[in-house]
């Protein structure tokens, strides 16, 4: 039986989620999109599994993690409770950690090299699964950002389309932190333009936008937005209190 604390936490997430969905509906109405086209991924990075469970019970069925060492125990805890979330790995993935997440993810957003994609494919074949992946592209060209360059991703798409064990579903990008509201829009526009250009015809995912810039991402065609702070609260404040 859920404790009073669990119930309160779930209601907090439900309130935040409803507020986000109202804002999403307004943005979609303004740019002629259906809000049902946009998947909200609640990013539970740093927060304990109890928060992720509360978010799920509040209606957030897609959950994201940045690190393998956080994703794996959370997926296992969910299975123990019979909770069937769609788990997304959205952070940097090292090849030596691929083996731990095969069969546990709904979608891997952060495939930033052909070598990583091929490692995921190899491990997937060994486990008799097909892993859905996105190619992370560094459209902004920031040195601090991971991802394929624009030219490299163009070359990678036809190669990876023929690799067994994986299914490329589309692209993911991260915009620079906005110094002025709206700064991120050009990155999202350029990523959507690239997505349309190199889409082989069966892609259906464009993952871009976070708590600070998701509105511009949706205006530019994002199908998946990765929301941490707006749903879970400030990570630094939680970590300091924990």
Q: Cα–Cα distance between 62 and 40 in angstroms, integer?
A: 7
Residue pLDDT, tens place only, 170-216: 999 999 887 778 789 999 999 999 999 999 999 999 999 999 999 99
Whether the Cβ atoms of residue 113 and residue 121 lie closer than 8 Å to each other: no
How is 86-104 classified by DSSP, letter by letter? EEEE-S---GGGGGGTTTT
Residue pLDDT, tens place only, 69-83: 999 999 999 999 999
Q: How much is the pLDDT for 2?
A: 55
Angle of the 150-161 helix axis to the 185-198 helix axis, nearest 10: 40
CATH 3.20.20.10 fits 4-241, yes or no: yes
Using a 10 angstrom Cβ sphere, with 0-12 exposed, 13-18 middle and 19 or more buried, the burial of residue 84 is exposed
Q: List the chain domain ranges.
A: 4-241
Residue pLDDT, tens place only, 131-168: 999 999 999 777 767 899 999 999 999 999 999 999 99
């Amino acid at each position: 039986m859920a404790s009073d604390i669990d119930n309160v936490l779930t209601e907090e997430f439900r309130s935040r989620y409803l507020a986000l969905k109202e804002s999403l509906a307004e943005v979609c109405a303004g740019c002629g999109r259906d809000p049902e086209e946009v998947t909200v991924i609640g990013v539970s990075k740093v927060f304990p599994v109890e928060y992720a469970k509360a978010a799920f019970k509040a209606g957030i069925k897609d959950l994201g993690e940045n690190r393998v060492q956080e994703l794996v125990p959370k997926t296992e805890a969910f299975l123990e409770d019979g909770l069937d979330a769609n788990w997304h790995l959205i952070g940097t993935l090292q090849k030596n950690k691929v083996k731990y997440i095969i069969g546990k993810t709904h979608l891997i957003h952060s495939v930033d090299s052909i070598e990583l994609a091929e490692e995921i494919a190899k491990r997937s074949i060994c486990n008799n699964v097909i892993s859905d992946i996105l190619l992370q592209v560094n459209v902004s060209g920031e040195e601090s950002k991971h991802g394929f360059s624009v030219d490299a991703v163009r070359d990678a798409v036809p190669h990876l389309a023929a690799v067994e064990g994986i299914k490329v579903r589309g692209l993911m990008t991260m915009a620079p932190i906005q110094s002025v509201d709206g700064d991120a829009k050009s990155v999202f526009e350029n990523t959507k333009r690239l997505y349309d250009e190199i889409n082989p015809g069966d892609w259906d995912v464009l993952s871009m936008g976070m708590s600070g810039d998701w509105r511009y991402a949706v205006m530019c065609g994002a199908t998946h937005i990765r929301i941490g702070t707006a749903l879970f609260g400030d990570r630094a404040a939680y970590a300091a209190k924990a």
